[in-house]
Structure 1
Amino acid sequence: MPATARRRDPRLPPDTDVGGLVAWAARRLGRAGLHFGHGTDNAFDEAGALVFHALGIAHEDAPRAYSRRVDAPGRERVRELVARRIRERVPSAYLTGRTWFAGHEIEVTPAVLVPRSAIAELCTSGFAPWIDARRVRRVLDIGTGSGCIAIACAHAFPEARVDAVDVSHAALEVAARNIRAHGLEERVRTRLSNVYDGVGPRRYDIIVSNPPYVPARVVGLLPAEYAREPRLGLAAGRRGLDVVERILAGAERHLERGGVLVVEVGDTEGAVRRRWPEVPFTWLEFEHGGGGVFLLTAAGLRSHRQALAS
């Protein structure tokens, strides 16, 4: 093999431990021009996820596994998985079938977006200081996908019932499996619903959503990894506001007095500000990064009812 080819595809060490494989995989991934943004934001963390999955190492055992020697079949499984990540530009979470959100393990398939919302931080804090967690009895998660936000909310509010809605049958099947895996079937219910269409007159203490918000013309310009995700979960019309407009227009009718609406809009934040300049959005900041998430109180929705309905 020519030297240049060896530099592009360095051979696996013939005898190594788990830590050595993670370092090797991180180098390979880092040199391959990949996009890191689907549950991890760097080559090292992604390498760890792939290596641990290939070797069958449980998440909780990972810190103690780095010095473990790896046999030839194990090294080959790692090589194949890393090669597929590079060759096919498949997000690692789809290769492993698992990811973590707000401290909870979540199954993912190509039927759902890979969980990565900054809303996870809100879930772990019980949406403090925006609402009294002790009085939360009902939560609505719009566009639930894998069910990750609904599940995190159910863990955050143990007295609450959560409606997890989506327009995708396939996504709801994944969500239902995750709900069962967390033993939350009694409190988290999936519903086929286009925003509020399937929830009837119910009112909620929290309405939360990570909806599609990418302008349609932008979707094709995203890194190749995004093409592996369902377009239904990304694209939202010319300005990226098609679903957000519906969420805002109906939120007042479905929020309890004192309730809050939380929606992620990512890079579409500017379009939201321009579309509703008079609405008092609170743009949240997060300790661990991320942005483009707004909060509106029920009172704020009432006082700007006309603007949000137009």
Structure 2
Amino acid sequence: MFIEAKTQLTTVRDLLRFAVSRFNEAELAFGHGTQNAYDEAAYLILHTLHLPLDTLDPFLDAKLLPSELETVLKILEKRVKERTPAAYLTHEAWLGDFRFYVDERVIVPRSFIAELLREQLTPWVENPDAVTTCLDLCTGSGCLGILMSYAFPNSMIDAVDISEDALEVAYRNVSDYGLEDRVHLIKSDLFESLQGKHYDIIISNPPYVNAEAVKALPSEYLHEPKLALGSGEDGLDATRIILRDAPKHLNEGGILVVEIGHNRDTVEAAFPEIDFTWLNVSAGDEYVFMLAREQLI
């Protein structure tokens, strides 16, 4: 069908219709930046043709050169046949207005904590300018550490990951934003290499998928590093360590913000003695919790 498309399709509109049909036919899974076949098709087509990502209508009836058509069809075919997430095909992911380089060495950025950082963790942080030390635990591509540097302009940020491959990607993003003097990349298994370090704010989007859910993940998610997804039988192996060790690394009055996916009930059952504050994000109040240092000691 993709071979036939080379001789029959001529416009962006043709490509868009074709892509949506093929994506739906293949029952692709979304969630790596888009939520449906139409949005993903539009994104891949516009990106591949070097057109503005937020401007589709003026180009719908534009005719493509044969070479342009072939290039777009190759991308669409790879998305369908290999089920490669769009972010790995374009080597970019967006959190709000921030663009990050990504490849299969890192999980595709999609953290709800990014939404909270845009608001400078209001009202939990009263004076963002007074924040001087931050930690992004399990930084992956470095995206949240970079967002922290903008949210808290007077802060120095440590961005930590156990994966050297991930840190290489993070270094590229930190360099792209010119933040080498403020965002410091550290190889560490959670807090292991952070002895003696203390922070005003610790954020983490750790692995949190439970074993059963890992087995049921769509093919798209299996392109991501396994290390960044699963976290033990109940998905809380990393979270347990974070809750245990965070108090030793938080300054007085410091806060901990952790994303845990769909595990709110599991977290509350595992730690009935802790009064979690669940933060509101676009998907609801079940995905990110906040704790003050005093609640953890």
The normalised TM-score by structure 2 is 0.92
Structure 2 match to 1:92: 86
Number of equivalent positions: 295
What CA distance in whole angstroms lies between the structure 1 residues aligned with 2:243 and 2:176?
A: 32
Which of these residues, 17, 22, 46, is aligned with residue 16 of structure 2?
22
Note the C-alpha offset of 1:289.
5.6
Q: Which amino acid counterpart does residue 197 of structure 1 have in structure 2?
A: E
> SS of 2:153's equivalent?
coil
Verify the 8 A CA contact 1:118 1:289 in the aligned structure 2: no
Structure 2 match to 1:251: 246
TM alignment of 1:110-121, pairs within 5 A: 110-121=104-115
Structure 1 match to 2:270: 275
> SS of 2:39's equivalent?
helix
Shift in CA distance, 172/63, structure 1 to aligned 2, threshold 3 Å? farther
Once superposed, what is the RMSD of the aligned Cα atoms? 2.1
What CA distance in whole angstroms lies between the structure 2 residues aligned with 1:121 and 1:188?
A: 20
Shift in CA distance, 220/9, structure 1 to aligned 2, threshold 3 Å? farther
Note the C-alpha offset of 1:102.
3.4
Q: Which amino acid counterpart does residue 175 of structure 2 have in structure 1?
A: R
Question: Does residue 1:106 correspond to 2:100, yes or no?
Answer: yes
What CA distance in whole angstroms lies between the structure 1 residues aligned with 2:97 and 2:295?
A: 31
Which runs of 5 or more residues in structure 2 are unaligned?
none
Structure 2 match to 1:197: 192
What CA distance in whole angstroms lies between the structure 1 residues aligned with 2:3 and 2:25?
A: 10
What CA distance in whole angstroms lies between the structure 1 residues aligned with 2:286 and 2:60?
A: 34
Question: Does residue 1:225 correspond to 2:220, yes or no?
Answer: yes
TM alignment of 1:85-234, pairs within 5 A: 85-132=79-126, 133-234=128-229
Q: Which amino acid counterpart does residue 173 of structure 1 have in structure 2?
A: E
> SS of 1:205's equivalent?
strand
What CA distance in whole angstroms lies between the structure 2 residues aligned with 1:292 and 1:116?
A: 12
The normalised TM-score by structure 1 is 0.89
> SS of 1:258's equivalent?
strand
What CA distance in whole angstroms lies between the structure 2 residues aligned with 1:175 and 1:63?
A: 35
Shift in CA distance, 14/35, structure 1 to aligned 2, threshold 3 Å? closer
Structure 2 match to 1:307: none
For 1:246-296, what per-residue CA distance to the aligned partner results, in whole angstroms no more than 9, with x for missing partners?
Answer: 100011111112211011111222211110012011111213668411111
Verify the 8 A CA contact 1:208 1:262 in the aligned structure 2: yes
Shift in CA distance, 74/290, structure 1 to aligned 2, threshold 3 Å? farther
Structure 2 match to 1:72: 66
> SS of 1:131's equivalent?
coil
For 1:172-205, what per-residue CA distance to the aligned partner results, in whole angstroms no more than 9, with x for missing partners?
Answer: 0000000000111110010001111112211111
Percent identity among equivalent residues?
Answer: 41
Verify the 8 A CA contact 1:118 1:291 in the aligned structure 2: no
Structure 1 match to 2:76: 82
Verify the 8 A CA contact 2:279 2:285 in the aligned structure 1: no
Structure 1 match to 2:287: 292
> SS of 2:38's equivalent?
helix
Question: Does residue 1:41 correspond to 2:35, yes or no?
Answer: yes
Verify the 8 A CA contact 2:9 2:15 in the aligned structure 1: no
Note the C-alpha offset of 1:232.
0.2
